[in-house]
Amino acid sequence: MPTLKLDLSANGIARLTLNRPERHNAFDEAMIGDLTGVFTTLGANPLVRVVVLNGAGESFCAGGDLNWMQRAAQKSAAENAQDALALARMLHAINVCPKPVIALIQGACFGGGVGLVAACDIVIAAPDARFGLTEVRLGLIPAAISPFVLAKMGTSAARRYFLTGERFSAEEARRLGLVHEVKAGLDAAAAPLIDALLASGPEAVADAKALIADVAGRFVDEDLLGLTAQRIAARRACDEGREGIAAFLEKRKPGWVR
């Protein structure tokens, strides 16, 4: 059985499903490699406008497959480190994908599954979704996922949940910033967000995503002011920016709206 299912619609919506429901979509080396490859490919595909990530079955993702982790631990130190690096690079591929990524979360979302959530742009959780950074319960730490999770939930929350391994609710995940909305009917909840993204310039969306990464956490100095000025100046002068402004003034839809 393939670890992923991909459906690309005519309007540019790529629906990507984690497809190991019998393992609660826990990832192993195969799924990690597949996710890295798929997000790299989708990011480079000009026909793709939005990626929607979900999980088959009753869970979104239960984290790392314990059989995979046991196999990795039996490898040499160098091989074990490379195996862990593959996970970190997979999360990075999602995080920097130039397409907006919406995650829809149901059921269990534990350990590395929280890392997947943190690497996505927009997250909607079902009311009964359950979260947890449970690595310490296994004598492990959430190392590879930590840069992405810390960027979403902050240091204070991490100092509790990284250390206790507690499970927490969808509403708590929303309060912490891991989740944007908690709603029943995940597909229906995602629909207006998809519509909003399709109404936006695809190149502008990619640039806006890159802008966040480039500006977040930086001290506001002349270098940063210059960078932001250059970025908006480039947008105003590019074909997509000119088309967007002209369409607004002419009271018509821009060319990227199908």
DSSP output for 205-226:
HHHHHHHHHHHTT---SHHHHH
Strands ordered across the beta sheet of 181-182: 4-8, 13-18, 50-55, 101-105, 122-125, 181-182
Three-state DSSP at 253 gives coil
DSSP 22: G
CA dist., res. 6 & res. 53, Å (int): 10
Q: Which of 22, 29, 79, 135 is catalytic?
A: 135
Known catalytic residue at 135: yes
Cβ-Cβ contacts under 8 Å for 210 (sequence gap 6 or more): 96, 98
| Positions marked catalytic | 135
